[in-house]
Amino acid sequence: MYRAPRGTADILPVEQPYWRFVEQKAAAICQLYGYERIDTPTFEDTQLFARGIGDATDIVRKEMYSFSGGELTLRPEGTAPVCRAYIQHGMHSWPQPVKLYYIASLFRHERPQAGRYRQHHQFGYEAIGSADAALDGEVIDVAWQFYQSLGLRDLSLQLNSIGCRKCRPEYLAALRAYYEPVTGLCRDCVTRRTTNPLRLLDCKNESCQQVADAAPKSTDQLCPECATHFGKLKGHLAVLGIPFEVNHRLVRGLDYYTRTVFEFQPAEGGAQSAIGGGGRYDDLIEVLGGRPTPGIGFATGIERIVLNLKKQGIPVPALSHPPVFIAGIGDAARDEAVKLAARLRRSGIGVIEAVGGRSLKAQLRQANSLGARYTVIIGEEELAGDNAVLRDMSGARQETVPLGQLPQKLQKMVS
């Protein structure tokens, strides 16, 4: 028997109300703040990710699905493709900042576990073309308001600044010096010490975490410009009334971040449970071959949102079903049912037609299980009088109605 590949999942009809709810709230919040939708291809040149995300990151080193001789890669994240599109379409000549959002599936060859998949979906957005700290505040506010609009409770906002090209080298040197004499690090951290020292700070291994807790803090070593930016952002968040915690171990897994990084964590979650995260990437567009352009973005995993909606027992609106079911008895009734269904659908009323010539009882059972509000029954007797029986499924009341009057009558009843 074939099964969906490891780390992937089918999103069955019963799950769809959650997904539609999240997608609708995402589109609504983006409209409120002036973010427009962009869809980029599912795969890109491998180099876009290698350069953008960084050769030393977990994603590029071991998680990319590459093909065509390694030239192309299924997108593992959404920011680099949007920046590529910004450069390709000359968006620097549009009014700045350019604000774009996406809802897309992403692919990472990770070890599957609860809330961690090989194909997952993100709602993300980017604001490109301004270095103003007020934009950092807005980007965080969009995420905050989005989670509020979903009804999610008890999310904490973790915030950090990891500096810029100017001040980060000095910080990394301090970090290396601090870690150099440390023994007993996990194998990954021993490698990180030389390849990617920032990532030492967010190791999930408990003994490494204790070492990281006492490590030098990036916020203590910011250059004056980065310190001012961080101070302004904290001021904006205070004005917006968004509570946050500065977490000096928050660095995020991709190399392109500068200055602001942030994450939202549910109250009861393990170390891998961030529901969304983002940050500023002031060098990325230049690294990808564009003219120097600052930017900031955020992305949140839809699977994890759905998981938290369920955990918190948040009800989501049901999706509507066709309200009318047509049951027919006999061959002549069949033709009349087909005609009626076509007439009703053309006037905008959703209809399910019985198929398979089952007994009336079985057809009514099917109408019930499909959640039909009304069933039209066409039998030989009704047909002879050019009538049909209209049955209200909630009260099981029924009446005989001339076939010609049914569309008008049903239109009134279902509207």
Name the residues that contact ligand AMP, by CB under 6 A. Answer: 77, 108, 110, 115-117, 120, 122, 253, 274-277, 299-301, 303-304
State in angstroms the smallest separation of the CB of 8 from ligand AMP. Answer: 10
State in angstroms the smallest separation of the CB of 261 from ligand AMP. Answer: 10
State in angstroms the smallest separation of the CB of 109 from ligand AMP. Answer: 9
**DSSP letter string over 156-201?**
EEEEEE---TTTHHHHHHHHHHHHTT-----HHHHHHHHH-GGGGG
Angle among Cα 299, 24, 145 to the nearest 5 degrees reads 55
Q: Which helix (H) or strand (E) holds 224?
A: helix 224-240
Which amino acid belongs to residue 272?
Answer: Q
Strand order in the sheet with 119-128: 36-37, 98-107, 119-128, 295-301, 276-280, 258-266, 155-161, 245-246
Instruction: Check the CA dihedral 120-123-129-131 and report its sign.
Output: negative
Closest-by-Cβ residue to ligand AMP is 301
Q: Which helix (H) or strand (E) holds 28?
A: helix 16-33
State in angstroms the smallest separation of the CB of 120 from ligand AMP. Answer: 3
Find out whether 6 and 118 touch, Cβ atoms under 8 Å. Answer: yes
Q: With respect to ligand AMP, which residue has the nearer C-beta, 77 or 255?
A: 77
Q: Give backbone dihedrals phi and psi of 167, rounded to 5 degrees, phi first.
A: -95, -15
Q: With respect to ligand AMP, which residue has the nearer C-beta, 77 or 353?
A: 77
Q: With respect to ligand AMP, which residue has the nearer C-beta, 139 or 403?
A: 139
Find out whether 203 and 262 touch, Cβ atoms under 8 Å. Answer: no
Q: With respect to ligand AMP, which residue has the nearer C-beta, 258 or 375?
A: 258
State in angstroms the smallest separation of the CB of 254 from ligand AMP. Answer: 7
State in angstroms the smallest separation of the CB of 253 from ligand AMP. Answer: 6
Q: With respect to ligand AMP, which residue has the nearer C-beta, 108 or 236?
A: 108
State in angstroms the smallest separation of the CB of 251 from ligand AMP. Answer: 11
Q: With respect to ligand AMP, which residue has the nearer C-beta, 175 or 275?
A: 275
Name which of 101, 122, 90 is nearest 34 in CA terms. 101
Q: With respect to ligand AMP, which residue has the nearer C-beta, 75 or 391?
A: 75
Q: With respect to ligand AMP, which residue has the nearer C-beta, 96 or 105?
A: 105
- Give 337's contacts (C-beta < 8 A, 6+ positions apart): 326, 327, 328, 353, 354, 376, 378
Name which of 284, 312, 261 is nearest 150 in CA terms. 312
Find out whether 388 and 329 touch, Cβ atoms under 8 Å. Answer: no
